[in-house]
């Protein structure tokens, strides 16, 4: 069921939203994969229109779907990406050492998915709790022995946990901050759940990288917000939390991992924290024209990708896609790319196979299909893991097939 959009005011500071950052037209929810039966029925499309707040510079979508509609039966399982599992393992090693974590400490992850990360703390005998709203995904974590609460996170959930005796020595969330429509309730909830001397880490795609590298395909309905350090610093500060350190990490095309503590812990800013703030200042992250100029880059990328595909098809070449990723659905729907341009898409995730992409209705197959049909081009939709994909599908080159990435602009890889 669709919901009326909230009045277009900033979800953090309440200012009216009058500036467009990126308008991608109408698009279906990016994870609403279709069965063959679904193809006979109408789909619901929503505006995919990112606005920017003139005051706090939070880039955001209007809300058209309730979160329980997006996450009730979620198709994204973190454990299907080997590079992401490795990232999670390295994080667990690093934080265990940095915070001297032991069995007496409590690690809590918000949006813990299928236990992909908490399993590494659990293996060390550290007490873990996952909070995950998608029941089908949480069940996988529970089957691994990961203590998981099926719930959305906010002040109400945090207060219930604290009342039951849970406080987080390490509170973390990877790629969840962008997914919450009520960002104030979410951050306030973290302040409630975080132990007095606890540390909080959050990872999120960096808005500066989205702008620099034209990553407009990372805009989709379940991502309500697009975040710079300047804006997140302001949001956290308003709820009694101080960000004091930063890791710049390569995940999702360039992300930030922030470290925060309660204001009263008085953490001192590190050099890396100051550097990222300075980088954002230099790039004009606080100037509205930085945002309002972005749409032109997006339109140019669309034209270049369509030109490549038209030329390939006119030569009689076959093109398929790798990765039934949400970002790919944004790209294909915005560009109007259907089976007239690409034959099918493959994905390792069996939950997506034998279904169809939302909007474009491109069929989803297992990766083995590429080896059977031997296409001329493989368009990598999750370009952020292109190295992993090229290694996994190296056999494509045996028949002269080539890989293509669409972002920041279309490029054929030798």
d(CA 61, CA 290): 18
Burial of 91 (0-12, 13-18, 19+ CB in 10 A): buried
| Cβ pair 27, 48 in contact under 8 A | yes
Residue 70 has a pLDDT of 53
φ, ψ for residue 364 (rounded to 5)?
-105, 125
d(CA 219, CA 200): 26
17: left (phi over 0), alpha (psi -120 to 50) or beta: beta
d(CA 232, CA 235): 5
Residue 4 has a pLDDT of 45
Nearest to 77 by CA among 145, 141, 143: 141
Residue 62 has a pLDDT of 83
φ, ψ for residue 283 (rounded to 5)?
-80, -5
Residue 106 has a pLDDT of 98
Within 10 angstroms of residue 279's Cβ, the number of other Cβ atoms is 14
| Cβ pair 77, 144 in contact under 8 A | no
3-state secondary structure 197-247: EEEEEEEEEEHHHHHHCCCHHHCCCCCCEEECHHHHHHHHHCCCEEEEEEE
CB pairs under 8 A, 24+ apart, for 133-136?
Answer: 133/67, 133/68, 133/71, 134/71, 134/72, 134/73, 134/74, 135/72, 135/73, 136/73, 136/74
3-state secondary structure 123-155: CCCCEEEEEECCHHHHHHHHHCCCCEEECCCCH
Nearest to 376 by CA among 300, 307, 319: 319
Q: How many CA atoms lie within 13 A of 399 on its CB side?
A: 14
Instruction: Write down the residue that tokens 């969330």 correspond to.
Output: 173
Give mean pLDDT in consecutive 10-residue pieces for the chain, a chain of 414 residues: 62 97 95 94 95 98 66 55 87 97 95 94 97 92 95 98 98 95 97 98 97 96 95 99 97 94 97 98 97 96 98 98 96 98 97 96 98 99 94 97 97 90
Task: Please give the angle made by the CA atoms of 365, 370 and 373, to the nearest 5 degrees.
Answer: 110
Distances (CA, A) of 134 to 25, 109, 255: 28, 14, 24
Nearest to 367 by CA among 406, 408, 320: 320
3-state secondary structure of 22: strand
d(CA 129, CA 238): 26
Within 10 angstroms of residue 38's Cβ, the number of other Cβ atoms is 15
d(CA 321, CA 357): 11
* Strands 194-205 vs 225-226: parallel, antiparallel or unpaired: unpaired
φ, ψ for residue 163 (rounded to 5)?
-60, -30
Residue 256 has a pLDDT of 98
- Domains of the chain in start order, with CATH, are 78-291 (3.40.50.150), 310-413 (3.40.50.720)
At 307, list the tokens: 């030109």
d(CA 123, CA 114): 15
Within 10 angstroms of residue 368's Cβ, the number of other Cβ atoms is 9
Residue 84 has a pLDDT of 82
Instruction: Write down the residue that tokens 């795609």 correspond to.
Output: 205
3-state secondary structure of 9: strand
Specify the pTM. 0.89
């Amino acid at each position: 069921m669709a919901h009326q959009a909230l009045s277009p005011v900033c979800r953090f500071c309440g200012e009216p939203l009058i500036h467009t950052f990126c308008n991608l037209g109408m698009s279906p929810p990016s994870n609403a994969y279709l069965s063959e039966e679904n193809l006979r029925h109408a789909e619901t499309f929503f505006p995919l229109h990112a606005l920017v707040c003139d005051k706090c510079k939070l880039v955001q979508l209007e809300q058209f779907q309730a979160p329980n509609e997006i996450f009730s039966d979620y198709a994204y399982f973190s454990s299907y990406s080997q590079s992401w599992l490795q990232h999670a393992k390295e994080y667990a090693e690093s934080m265990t050492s940095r915070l001297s974590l032991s069995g007496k400490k409590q690690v809590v992850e918000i949006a813990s998915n299928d236990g992909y990360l908490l399993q590494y703390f659990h293996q060390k005998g550290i007490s873990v709790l996952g909070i995950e709203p998608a029941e089908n995904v949480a069940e996988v974590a529970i089957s691994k022995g990961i203590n998981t609460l099926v719930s959305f996170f906010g002040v109400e959930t945090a207060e219930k946990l604290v009342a039951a005796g849970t406080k987080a020595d390490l509170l973390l969330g990877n790629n969840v901050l962008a997914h919450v429509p009520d960002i104030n309730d979410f951050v306030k909830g973290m302040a409630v759940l975080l132990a007095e001397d606890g540390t909080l880490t959050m990872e999120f795609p960096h808005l500066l990288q989205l702008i620099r590298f034209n990553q407009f395909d990372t805009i989709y309905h379940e991502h309500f917000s697009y975040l710079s350090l300047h804006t997140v610093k302001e949001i956290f500060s308003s709820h009694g939390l101080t960000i004091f350190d930063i890791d710049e990490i390569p995940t999702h095309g360039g992300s930030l991992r922030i470290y925060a503590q309660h204001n009263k812990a008085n953490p001192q800013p590190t050099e890396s924290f100051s550097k990222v703030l300075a980088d954002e200042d230099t790039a004009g992250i606080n100037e509205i024209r930085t945002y309002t100029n972005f749409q032109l880059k997006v339109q140019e990328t669309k034209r270049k990708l369509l030109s490549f595909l038209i030329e390939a098809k006119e030569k009689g070449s076959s093109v398929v896609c790798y990765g039934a990723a949400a970002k790919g659905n944004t790209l294909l729907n915005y560009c109007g790319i259907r089976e007239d341009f690409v034959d099918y898409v493959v994905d390792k995730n069996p939950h997506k196979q034998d279904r169809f992409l939302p909007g474009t209705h491109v069929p989803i197959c297992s990766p083995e299909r590429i080896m059977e049909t031997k296409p001329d081009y493989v368009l990598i939709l999750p370009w952020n893991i292109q190295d992993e994909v090229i290694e996994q599908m190296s056999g494509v080159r045996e028949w002269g097939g080539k890989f293509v990435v669409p972002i920041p602009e279309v490029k054929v890889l030798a």
